[in-house]
Amino acid sequence: MGTPRIVLISTGGTVAAQSTTDGAVPRLSARDLLPDDLAPEIVPVDLMSVDSSAMTTGDQFAVAGAVEAALADPSVDGVVVTHGTDTLEETSYLVDLCHTDDRPVVFTGAQRTSDDPHGDGPANIAAALAAATDPGQRGRGVIVAFGGEVLSARGLFKASTTDLNAFDTVHDRLRRQTLNGHVSTAPPRRVDALSLYPGVSPGLIAAAVSQQVAGLVLSATGSGNTHPDITAEVTAAVRAGIVVVVTTRVPFGEVVPTYGGGGGAVDLHRAGAIVSPWLRAPQARIAIVALLSTGATADEVGAFFAASGPA
């Protein structure tokens, strides 16, 4: 067998950032991020140089498109994407939905800037390159190499703002679901995410509907519960053709409709909302964007979430 050929796609983030008087700013190129001792053949690609918090949905789709383009070359054995940690959970999951190839796609990044004397970026990149050339990682979908761990993108969330082991998962064996394998060239559909809390204004939902959103994700309390006034707005939104998905702000555990009382998940489900048992708001939102952008119906979105549990 020949030397593995890896495409490294750089998007910016802390791993490419240097400290300035105005804060950390991405400055390094993909080539700058390459280790000095190159075991595999690595092809650097500078896609963008932004903080991931500043990414648009269009930028995230561009990352998915760049991964797809890299894998169109049959000589490529795997892809590594360096990405900011703030929205890595969303972009990696979007790529996972579009990724039907068995070749590894690995996301990584850093918690500390590239000029930090104790920076974690080089070790994370080395781990990502190793994972991208590991035959045992084939067929897993998109994975994330970070802080000494290799995690599935499905169910991923950022668990710490400072720890080098920055990510955790809702469940480590969520079923791999893919769409049509091709990134849509149409503008992504707009989907908003709203946090629900005691005293939240029901008018927030009406305002989003008036601004012609295609979908809404409600990050509710407990196992998908909220105030009864929200249920009435959900009913109106669903009648207006808006896809509404309910998840929870709780990090772990399955969301199971259990409570009524007018604003429980049982009531929201009866009002037409789709319950996301495992995917939390960031990943639920990007899933709806991807689904609606490929022409999925509300029933198809519901079937997707119903099948998103452990394999």
Local structure of residue 136 (DSSP, 8 states): G
> 86: annotated binding-site residue?
yes
In DSSP terms, 194 is beta-bridged to 218
Active site (catalytic) residues = 14, 85
> 52: annotated binding-site residue?
yes
Tokens at 12, concatenated = 């910016």
Phi, psi of 43, rounded to the nearest 5 degrees: -105, 110
Instruction: Say if residues 268 and 226 touch (Cβ distance below 8 Å).
Output: yes
Task: Tell which residue, 118, 114, 109, has the closest CA to residue 165.
Answer: 109
Instruction: Say if residues 235 and 212 touch (Cβ distance below 8 Å).
Output: no
Bridge-based pairing of strands 5-12 and 78-82 is: parallel
Question: Which residues contact residue 171 at a Cβ distance below 8 angstroms, ignoring those fewer than 6 apart?
Answer: 155, 278, 309, 310
Binding-site annotation, residues: 52, 85-86
- Residues making up the annotated binding site for substrate are 52, 85-86
